[in-house]
Amino acid sequence: MNTKYDSETGGLLKLFKGITLLNGVGFLLLVIGCGGGGAANTTSPPPALPVLSLSSSQDQVRVNTELVLTWSSSNATSCSASGAWSGDKALSGSETVTGAVAGDKIYSLSCSGAGGEQSVSIEVEITPAPDLTVSRTKLQITLVESRTLTIDSDTWVLNFYRNEAYTCGLSGNYTFFVMEPANNPGAEAPLWAYLHGGGYGWFDEDKVYQAVKTQTQDTFNHEETFDDLIDNHLLYNTMSNDEVMDSTLTRRMQEGYRVLLVSMCDHDNYSGRGASYPNNPNPNGGERQVNGLQATMAAMDYTVANYPSTHVFAHGTSAGSIGVFAMSQAYAAEGTYLTAIVADSWAFTPPRIFDMFDALVGEEGYVFNAGSDLRTDGMDKLGYDYLGLGIYPEAVIEGGFVEVPSMYIVGEKDPGCGGYRGGILSTIPQAAAAGLSNCGWMYDDLRDAIDNQPNSPHVFDLSPTGDHVETNRENPVNNRVDNFVSGVLATIPPHVFP
């Protein structure tokens, strides 16, 4: 909606006993008869008042959001601004302004000419910025168990914790473990936070659980035990046939990083901020919330407060990829910047993620099943408007975000983006029209945002032969992750939580 004021229709016009008043400037027309029938004396008409218009591209914007003021004038020789803007202005033009403080702001323009001076004003409401911080607590975190893990000649101490402040979708609480540097527990070390994968799921309006592939409501809505985290997410991603596997996580362990491995038990991509869990039948009683991001950040807060940490990296695979981005942005809202993130195989890329879903949902080989609705039920689960607030990778990068270097890894075979694994899925029309693969098309706006950001610290890694979560396997992408990490460390970044 535009706000506009026109001085021709809004000016003050008064007539009184032969004196014409135009916005306070008076002109007196005097006619005097002279005897003898001689020619009458007349005066020239008075110069016209300036006529102005002033409009705004929006009548309500959030604080620190740009809006455009546009104005024009006639019968004027000079203009100046006052109120929420200032300075001499051209007789017509436009200007981009930003409201840095919330409140009703008055933008005024005055123009002068031979006929006098005219002023117009418009009002724009500057609304407060949304609160992007994540409320959380580490006060109910308790140590449950400690174990020692030995592989070849190296030994790691693992401490397993439970946070009773946050319940899982159906039963239990959020958990995590801290894995000390090899053979050196208690040492100051860089921290590698790993957020594992696990898809995404939600209850629809009929309380039917919708999820990827063969997952059910019981897959990731219950507490993950110590054994679950070790066997399914640590050893599975670092060992193969009882031999050490050369994965990204393995390399960090061998380099002496401390590892934080966090559970996911609301099946929410680690992105929940405490909203009620919609349509959850709650078979175990009590109101459930979606707490993935809260619990993950609480685990991070606890770890850096109790273990001496230097640089802090976050590595997510599949669902965890969305989680590490969400966490990096939530900390950034508090003025804390993680050293870097590595997001392997999944990112929120609207609108194309929805377009891909609409084109392939229910198709053999695609991850989402027929009958599911990602656009509404899927997004409503989180109870937070990530899309409307612009909290997704290409939006923040286009907005100039450079504080947390981010590596986004995509494989062309990945079924999560309609990839060609097994030759099952066909190229959707939009991708074909652009001359791209499905995965290339779904992530092309992200690639474009990074390519167009001057001196961008971010990396978009699209592999023609890559598949889903290749950083958890022996794969050349692990070398590219190493190069990314080395490049970040070469800039000598500060310690994150000094």
DSSP, residue by residue, 29-45: ------GGGPPPP--PP
Flag whether pLDDT at 202 surpasses 80: yes
Longest dimension (CA), the chain: 128
The pLDDT tens digits of the residues spanning 226-240 come to 999 999 999 999 999
- Write down the mean pLDDT value for the chain: 91
Flag whether pLDDT at 248 surpasses 50: yes
Torsion angles phi and psi, residue 434, rounded to 5: -90, -5
Flag whether pLDDT at 317 surpasses 80: yes
What number is the average pLDDT over the span 128-140? 91
DSSP track, 300-323:
HHHHHHHS-EEEEEEEEETHHHHH
pLDDT value, residue 3: 54
- Please give the Cα distance from 120 to 124 (Å, whole number): 14
- Please give the Cα distance from 276 to 289 (Å, whole number): 4
What number is the average pLDDT over the span 251-278? 97
pLDDT value, residue 63: 87
Flag whether pLDDT at 12 surpasses 80: no
Q: Which amino acid is at 187?
A: A
- Please give the Cα distance from 468 to 409 (Å, whole number): 9
Categorize the per-residue pLDDT at 100 as very low, low, confident or very high, splitting at 50, 70 and 90.
confident
Residue 210: CB atoms within 10 Å: 22
The pLDDT tens digits of the residues spanning 400-420 come to 999 999 999 999 999 999 999
Q: Give the DSSP H/E element, type plus range, for residue 71.
A: strand 66-74
pLDDT value, residue 132: 84
What number is the average pLDDT over the span 303-315? 98
Q: What is the pTM of this model?
A: 0.81
The pLDDT tens digits of the residues spanning 19-46 come to 333 333 333 333 334 444 455 567 888 9
For residues 467 and 421, is the Cβ–Cβ distance under 8 A? yes
The pLDDT tens digits of the residues spanning 203-215 come to 999 999 999 999 9
CA 219, 225, 230, 234 torsion-angle sign? positive
pLDDT value, residue 21: 34
- Please give the Cα distance from 34 to 31 (Å, whole number): 10
Percent of the chain with pLDDT over 70: 91
pLDDT value, residue 8: 54
pLDDT value, residue 27: 37
Flag whether pLDDT at 389 surpasses 70: yes
For residues 245 and 255, is the Cβ–Cβ distance under 8 A? no
Categorize the per-residue pLDDT at 422 as very low, low, confident or very high, splitting at 50, 70 and 90.
very high
- Please give the Cα distance from 325 to 348 (Å, whole number): 9
Flag whether pLDDT at 155 surpasses 50: yes
Flag whether pLDDT at 482 surpasses 70: yes
CA 280, 283, 292, 249 torsion-angle sign? negative
pLDDT value, residue 2: 56
Flag whether pLDDT at 492 surpasses 60: yes
pLDDT value, residue 28: 35
What number is the average pLDDT over the span 151-176? 96
The pLDDT tens digits of the residues spanning 332-371 come to 999 999 999 999 999 999 999 999 999 999 999 999 999 9
- Please give the Cα distance from 178 to 301 (Å, whole number): 12
